[in-house]
Amino acid sequence: MEWINAIVQGVLLGGLYAFFAAGLSLIFGVMRLVNIAHGDLIVFSAFVALSVVEGTGLNPLGSLAVVVPLMAVIGYGLQRGILNRTLGKDLLPPLLVTFGLSVIIQNGLLEIYTADSQKLDAGALEVASLSLGGISVGVLPLLMFASAIAVIAGLQGVFYRTALGRAFRATSDDPEVARLMGLDNNHVYGLAMALSMAVVAVAGVFLAMRTNFDPSTGPARLIFGFEAVVIGGLGNLWGTLIGGVILGVAQTIGAQINPGWQLLAGHIAFLVVLAFRPRGLLPRMEG
């Protein structure tokens, strides 16, 4: 029963990792941009949620009404003001710029919030659980997993059933032809980043509710998100969920064997998939 419980908890943890990965996968799929600052933006969202909760008295889930649109606006402005200038055939400029952005975010958060560890108090939701056949399942992890499925399904719907999604796919397939057809690629890329940052905002709030965070925790979130993306397949949104689940299950099974093996087991699972399926399990976006 302990092993079954470890697998169940790993699956639910995979929902959080899917949130980390979905925004990363989205912008890579649209503009082939690898955002080194992605993890720091997740932590930034967590701190924004903390400020909103402390300043307004909203509960953490209620803070999403403020944090999601705010992060979407920041994402659009960031893409139009900085990142669009770095896009091209050379992948190095975006990497350098987003690395610099990562450093700026970490130091800015450190200056404003100090290095103290923080956490959002979710109240009774943190300890609420359901008993399923002798296995205790936390309501918060279950909510995170269900939300991950809903968000990814929503993103899939946007991509394949809306005019905005057609614009995303057109600019991803051939930016020059898309421009000739009347699309403003800079605006489309801005909207893609806004959508990515909206997902990042949800990831940041759930992260803040689930565990402690501080200004230096962003890179670890980036690694988990990146591994989930690569396991699932670059650019495949449902693949990010599968990748997140595989990563989460590997970590909880590793922790079951030896608490010190939790992170190592996740990295080993990533390397095994990379060795046998270098393009990931589901390398292309599927409708």
* Count of residues in the chain: 287
User: Which of the four pLDDT bands, split at 50, 70 and 90, describes residue 286?
Assistant: very low
Banded model confidence at residue 245, pLDDT cuts 50, 70, 90? very high
User: pLDDT band for position 285 (50/70/90)?
Assistant: very low
Return d(Cα 143, Cα 210) in angstroms, integer: 11
Q: Is the Cβ–Cβ distance between 46 and 204 less than 8 Å?
A: yes
Check residue 143 and give its pLDDT. Answer: 93
Q: Domain residues for 170?
A: 2-114+137-276
Question: DSSP for 165-181?
Answer: HHHHHHHHH-HHHHHHT
| CA atoms of 194 and 203, how far apart (whole Å) | 14
At 178 the pLDDT is 85
What CATH number has the domain bearing residue 101? 1.10.3470
132 located within any domain: no
**Chain Cα centroid distance, residue 62:** 20
* pLDDT at residue 133 greater than cutoff 80: no
Residue 36's pLDDT band, with cuts at 50, 70 and 90, is: very high
Nearest-angstrom CA–CA distance, 217 and 195: 23
What tokens does 284 get? 């292309």
Q: Using the Cα atoms of residue 75, residue 104, residue 231 and residue 8 in order, give the sign of their dihedral.
A: negative
Q: Is residue 286 part of a domain?
A: no
What is the percent of the chain where pLDDT is above 90? 66
Q: How many domains is the chain partitioned into structurally? A: 1
Q: What token pair was written down for 91?
A: 């992948």
Q: What share of the chain in percent tops pLDDT 70?
A: 99
Per the domain annotation, does 223 fall within a domain?
A: yes
Calculate mean pLDDT across residues 44-52.
96
For residue 128, being part of any structural domain is answered with no
210, part of any domain: yes
Query: Which residues lie across from 131 on neighbouring strands?
Result: 136
Name the strand (E) or helix (H) holding 48: helix 38-56
3-state secondary structure of 137: strand
118 pairs with which residues across the strands? 213
* Sign of the CA dihedral with 62 first, then 65, 68, and 70 last: negative
For the chain, give the mean pLDDT: 90
Q: Is this model's pTM higher than 0.85 or not?
A: yes
Cβ-based neighbour number of residue 188 at 10 Å: 22
- Among residues 197, 143, 202, the alpha carbon closest in space to that of 19 is found at 202
Q: Given a cut of 60, is residue 163 above it in pLDDT?
A: yes
Strands, E, within the chain: which ranges? 129-132, 135-138
Per-residue pLDDT at 126 exceeds 90: no
Average confidence (pLDDT) over 251-265: 90
Least confident of 46-50, 133-137, 176-180, 252-256: 133-137
Mapping DSSP to helix (H, G, I), strand (E, B) and coil, where does residue 135 land? strand
pLDDT of amino acid 108: 96
Q: Does residue 120 lie within any of the structural domains?
A: no
Strand partners of residue 236:
none
